[in-house]
Amino acid sequence: MKIIVQPNYEALSKRAAEIVREEMEKKRNIVLGLATGSTPLGLYKELIRMHKEEGLDFSQVTTFNLDEYIGIDYDDPNSYHYFMESNLFNHINIDRENTFIPDTNVEDLEAYCKEYDRLIEEKGGIDLQILGIGVNGHIGFNEPDEELKVGTNIVNLTESTIQANSRFFDSIDQVPQNAVTMGIGTIMKAKQIILLASGKSKHEVMKELIKGDKITTQLPASLLLLHPNVTVILDEEAYRG
């Protein structure tokens, strides 16, 4: 696990965008795994700038998002569909046919989860996966538990995650309690992973992860210690607390 500490959130976002750009230049039809949450917003802003000012080309790029809430309308600003449209896809030249976000409005969700993993495989697998991290160590929506699912799956969100995500909703009752997320195995199959962490609230979990001496399903991000190509980019606040 390569650790890069940046002085602040802006520098973290720029460094992440540089890596994404490098990989996009190496492979024009790259398959990107994308995350939501507040952490990757600066990265997306920088990628939009690179597209607008420097002609970074997304026309051949395919994307797969990590997760989506269950029971949310896609025109609800809190849905991850809406998030991706407004914070990235609307501002770059990506072909919407090549953007995939778990569709939680389907009848047979379990079958759909399997289909999502199959589709990722069919597109050649994820070349570069962007990850944020929950304060409890979740990645995607793989919550700490006695066991973790390998493939894309349906999850019940923990109280801590519902609490953390309630800041985006009018009230905590409106936060969906369930979601579909890529599984740990889906994430681990990505050829390269960048995990971003910013701010004091992520310090405790990052301290544990960076220590790097044990893997446990109670800290889902620790499974990344087994992956051969992970870069963690964090700011001073997340690093030093």
Residue holding tokens 């919407």? 96
Q: Which of residues 147-166 bind ligand GLP (CB under 6 A)?
A: 161, 165
Q: Which of residues 8-37 bind ligand GLP (CB under 6 A)?
A: 35-37
State how far the Cα of 61 lies from the Cα of 57, in Å rounded to an integer: 8
The verdict on 38 binding ligand GLP (CB under 6 A) reads yes
Active site residue 67: yes
The verdict on 39 binding ligand GLP (CB under 6 A) reads yes
First to last CA, the chain: 20
Provide the mask over 105-144, with x wherever binding to ligand GLP is found by CB under 6 A and - wherever it is not.
Answer: ---------------------------xxx-----xx---
Cβ neighbors of 23 (< 8 A, separation 6 or more) are 30, 127, 128, 192
Active site residue 143: yes
Active-site annotation holder among 136, 142, 153, 165: 136
Active site residue 145: no
* Smallest separation (angstroms) from ligand GLP to the CB of 28: 26
The verdict on 104 binding ligand GLP (CB under 6 A) reads no
Q: For residue 143, how many C-alpha atoms fall within 13 Å in the half-sphere facing its CB? A: 15
Angle, CA of 82, 44 and 155, to the nearest 5°: 50
Measured CA to CA in angstroms, residue 108 lies from 111, 113, 122, 163, 210 at distances of 6, 9, 21, 28, 39
The verdict on 183 binding ligand GLP (CB under 6 A) reads no
The residues that are catalytic are: 67, 136, 138, 143
Report the interface residues with ligand GLP, using CB under 6 A: 35-39, 66-67, 132-134, 140-141, 161, 165
